[in-house]
């Protein structure tokens, strides 16, 4: 059998995720593989806000092109970086079980906070300087506490943490899954309640893309697929797509299993206001029908005003 080529970004987190897929494929079916590390446009444009250049999709175009040009056989992504609009000629072969979808607040110095943060605890924070590259996180923080100064930050997780501890800012917001996959332990780390601080669509999920019709690897990758994760992220992506969202817009959507149901929280924000909904749907409900329900429920909120205020 030929060696499987795995396309990945060169960042430490992306390579760690590609190595995880590599190990699981070897354990599941003995596949021999090698990682093809690539530098994306998003990695090169480090000094500009992502929403000025098309959002997080900048991180995946180079990887997808390598797949389409037969320079790789599969591509490994953080699903939260993937545009909800499908790329012609590519499909998702598997979604690994979701690690965790939560965001965390990492402080340079203790503030006497509880392990888990809700809107009230954030509202009580002193006027800190907090770094994030995400408009969703920025708006959530500033809606809860207008005294917070939220600063734009780019770079990989380790670079951001070094800037934090060097005193460039007081706190940093990051995906909890990123810290755990890199085995980074921060002393003053607090977890946001994801029913309020709704994560980005697909956050915490590793996705594997292949070329449509590439049957050589489909059967092996199917062994890595998590059906529960697949249904949840397909619901999330269907809702964001139905709302007209993309990687540049401050939208959040999170679906999780709750007994015989799936609980869905979603929001869209501008600097002035938040439109937010919550749904409970039966397990195995079609994602498209959930999206229809979500849009109908959003129509009863300030969604139209939010979208009118988003100018990028």
Mean pLDDT throughout 187-215? 95
> Is the same domain home to 181 and 55?
no
Same domain, 39 and 76: yes
107 plus 91 within the same structural domain: no
When pLDDT is averaged across residues 157-186 and rounded to a whole number, the result is 95
Do residues 61 and 141 both lie within one domain? no
pTM score:
0.92
Task: Tell me the DSSP string of 34-57.
Answer: EEEEE--HHHH-TTS-GGGGTGGG
Inside any domain, residue 250: yes
- Domain match, 65 and 11 both: yes
Q: Are residues 19 and 139 in the same domain?
A: no
234 against 214, higher pLDDT: 234
Tokens of 184: 């980074």
260 classed as catalytic: no
Flag whether 230 is in a domain. no
Cα–Cα distance, 176 to 158 (Å, whole number)? 13
Q: Is residue 197 part of a domain?
A: no
Q: Are 83 and 218 in the same domain? A: yes
pLDDT digits (tens, 9 = 90+) for 34-57: 999 998 665 555 555 544 445 455
Q: Which of 43, 52, 73, 81 is labelled catalytic? A: 81
Provide the number of structural domains found in the chain. 3
Q: Is residue 31 located within the same domain as residue 108?
A: no
Going by DSSP bridges, is the β-strand pair 4-9/74-78 parallel, antiparallel, or unpaired? parallel
Domain that holds residue 48: 4-96+205-225
Nearest residue to 13 (alpha-carbon basis) of 180, 131, 166, 163:
180
Instruction: Tell me, yes or no, whether 82 and 38 share the same domain.
Output: yes
> Given a cut of 60, is residue 128 above it in pLDDT?
yes
Write down the pLDDT at residue 214: 81
């Amino acid at each position: 059998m030929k060696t499987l080529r795995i396309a990945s970004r060169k960042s430490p987190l992306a390579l760690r995720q590609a190595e995880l897929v590599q190990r699981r494929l070897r354990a599941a079916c003995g596949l021999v593989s090698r990682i093809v590390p690539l530098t994306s446009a998003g990695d090169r444009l480090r000094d500009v806000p992502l929403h000025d250049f098309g959002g997080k999709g900048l991180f995946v175009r180079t990887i997808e092109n390598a797949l389409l040009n037969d320079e790789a056989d599969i591509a490994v992504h953080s699903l939260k970086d993937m545009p909800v609009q499908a790329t012609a000629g590519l499909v998702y072969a598997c979604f690994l079980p979701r690690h965790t979808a939560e965001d965390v607040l990492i402080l340079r110095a203790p503030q006497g906070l509880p392990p888990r943060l809700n809107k009230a605890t954030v509202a009580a924070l002193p006027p800190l300087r907090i770094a994030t590259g995400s408009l969703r996180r920025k708006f959530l923080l500033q809606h809860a506490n207008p005294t917070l100064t939220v600063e734009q930050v780019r770079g990989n997780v380790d670079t951001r943490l070094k800037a934090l501890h060097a005193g460039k800012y007081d706190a940093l917001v990051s995906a909890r899954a990123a810290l755990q996959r890199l085995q980074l332990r921060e002393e003053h780390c607090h977890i946001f309640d994801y029913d309020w601080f709704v994560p980005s669509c697909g956050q915490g999920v590793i996705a594997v893309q292949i070329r449509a019709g590439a049957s050589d690897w489909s059967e092996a990758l199917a062994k890595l697929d998590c059906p529960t994760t697949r249904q949840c992220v397909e619901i999330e992506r269907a809702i964001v797509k139905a709302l007209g969202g993309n990687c540049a817009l401050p939208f959040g959507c999170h679906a999780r299993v709750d007994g015989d149901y799936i609980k869905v929280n979603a929001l869209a924000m501008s600097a002035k206001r938040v439109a937010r909904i919550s749904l409970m749907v039966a397990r195995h409900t079609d994602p498209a029908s959930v999206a229809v329900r979500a849009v109908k429920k959003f129509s009863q909120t300030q969604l139209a005003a939010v979208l009118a205020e988003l100018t990028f």
